[in-house]
């Protein structure tokens, strides 16, 4: 492990906005002590809507939304602490009191959040996982995890550069008859652009500069819905087969 990563990990231990709970700690203590109490124990608020950014990376969306919406609370979640150090340091330096970071696996969300504790989930530019449906963050495997923490009427929002993930997610929503609130395959040439926070991540800027439009979907999961995977054949993203640095057709 490089010295820079070690330094970041050490710094993360000192930042009050960062929460890290090893699995052994969760097992021995019966779960996260903040479960059901993030609003009051962490953000010092009562009944303030809570938004999660899953796979937050550097936390650009969580930090950006925290700046834009001071009356809401935001938690960036990622398993890789060295990435979220950037966002955590910004929160600390700017004194943002409505943004926190949680280092854990998305599979463990119900260990950290009580039923109906989360109002909204953002999934920003995830790996589309074209070969492994159970690893897709918009697949039914993860949707069944999200629904355990989402409040009634809670919203899931996806931004992606991947035509494959966009088509798959739309097929999944249609197959399960889920309420579709918004969808566009070219966000910044759509009226929906005014409804989405004006935040572009580092990777989004890279895709846009190469002519790949951002796609956006917002949907809900009604209580009692039994989810199943759509039986569809979706063309893979050709540019991704050449790696991030080389785009077919550009």
Place of tokens 């991540």: 201
Sheet holding 118-124, edge to edge: 18-20, 99-103, 73-78, 50-54, 118-124, 150-160, 215-219, 180-184
Which residue among 127, 186, 231, 237 is the active-site one? 127
Nearest to 240 by CA among 138, 144, 178, 163: 163
In the annotation, is 127 catalytic?
yes
Residues with Cβ within 8 Å of 195's Cβ and at least 6 positions away in sequence, in order, are 182
Q: How far is CA 183 from the centre of its chain?
A: 17
The answer to whether 12 and 59 are in contact (CB under 8 A) is no
Greatest Cα-to-Cα distance within the chain, rounded to the nearest angstrom:
53
The answer to whether 219 and 178 are in contact (CB under 8 A) is yes
CA distance 163 to 125: 11
Nearest to 203 by CA among 145, 244, 249: 244
CA distance 188 to 192: 8
Annotated catalytic residues are 127
């Amino acid at each position: 492990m490089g010295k820079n990563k070690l330094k970041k990990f050490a710094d993360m231990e000192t930042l009050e906005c960062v929460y890290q709970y090893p699995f052994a700690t969760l097992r021995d203590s019966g779960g996260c002590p903040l479960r059901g109490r993030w609003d009051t124990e962490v953000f010092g608020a009562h009944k303030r809507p809570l938004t999660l950014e899953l796979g937050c990376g550097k936390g650009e969306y969580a930090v950006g939304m925290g700046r834009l919406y001071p009356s809401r609370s935001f938690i960036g979640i990622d398993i890789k602490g060295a990435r979220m150090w950037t966002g955590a340091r910004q929160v600390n330096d700017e004194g943002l009191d409505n943004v926190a970071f949680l280092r854990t696996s998305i599979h463990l969300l119900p260990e950290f959040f009580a039923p109906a504790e989360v109002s909204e989930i953002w999934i920003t530019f995830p790996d589309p996982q074209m070969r492994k449906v159970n690893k897709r963050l918009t697949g039914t495997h993860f949707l069944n995890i999200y629904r355990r923490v989402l409040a009634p009427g809670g919203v899931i929002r996806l931004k992606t550069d991947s035509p494959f993930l966009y088509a798959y997610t739309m097929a999944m929503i249609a197959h399960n008859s889920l309420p579709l609130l918004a969808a566009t395959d070219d966000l910044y040439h759509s009226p929906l652009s005014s409804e989405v926070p004006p935040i572009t991540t580092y990777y989004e800027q890279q895709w846009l500069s190469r002519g790949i439009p951002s796609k956006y979907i917002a949907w809900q999961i009604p209580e009692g819905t039994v989810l199943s995977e759509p039986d569809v054949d979706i063309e893979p993203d050709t540019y991704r087969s050449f790696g991030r640095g080389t785009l077919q057709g550009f």
